[in-house]
Amino acid sequence: MLYYSYAMGICLRYARTRDEAMEAVNDGFMKVFRDVTRFDTTKYDQLTSTFRGWLKRIMIHTAIDQYRASGKHRLQQSIDDTPALQYADDHYTALDALSYDEIIELVGQLTPGYRAVFNLYVIDGYTHEEIASQLGISVGASKSNLSKARAHLKTLLFKNRHHAYAGSIG
């Protein structure tokens, strides 16, 4: 139970519902228990933080695998089907002023494809190339989904009366 809430917090960022997140957490812990012998405890000074990092990576990959298996990502429009967009790869700090729960609630309102790309890029620090590889989409589609996710978050912030923050999202 020590790491359950940590793992659940990670999976909730990728899942549409709490049940989907619980399924990803359960699958992730099955992988952890199956592969725990591969985790070499003699190589690390900071065992707890290293284990948390290993667990985080497993949970992210499990949530992404679940997302891919659901086929929902195929509903996202490819960059080839959209007009040219300008992309900004800089990180924005507007969301830093909101509480964690507010951010999770807003990100949870994104479509599955936008949510996955936003989480991987902004929260987990993946590159567009890594995201494209993980989700089986093009780099351009990753950038497009991030741009659209930011635009949608901006709209949500305006709707939720967070006007001061909305100007910095997109």
Rg (CA), the chain: 17
* pLDDT, position 147: 95
Do the domains 4-70 and 78-166 sit in the same CATH topology, yes or no? no
Cα dihedral angle (144, 146, 150, 155), rounded to 10 degrees? 60
- Residues of the chain with pLDDT below 70 are 1, 43-48, 71-100, 161-170
As a whole number of Å, the end-to-end CA separation of the chain is 38
* pLDDT, position 84: 36
* pLDDT, position 157: 83
pTM over 0.85: no
Domain ranges, ordered by start, for the chain? 4-70, 78-166
Q: Which residues contact 53 (CB under 8 A, 6 or more apart)?
A: none
At the topology level, CATH places domain 78-166 in Arc Repressor Mutant, subunit A (1.10.10)
CATH class of 4-70: mainly alpha
Q: Residue 43 carries which DSSP code? A: G
pLDDT tens for each residue of 123-158:
888 999 999 998 999 999 999 999 999 999 988 888
* pLDDT, position 48: 67
CB atoms within 10 A of CB 58: 19
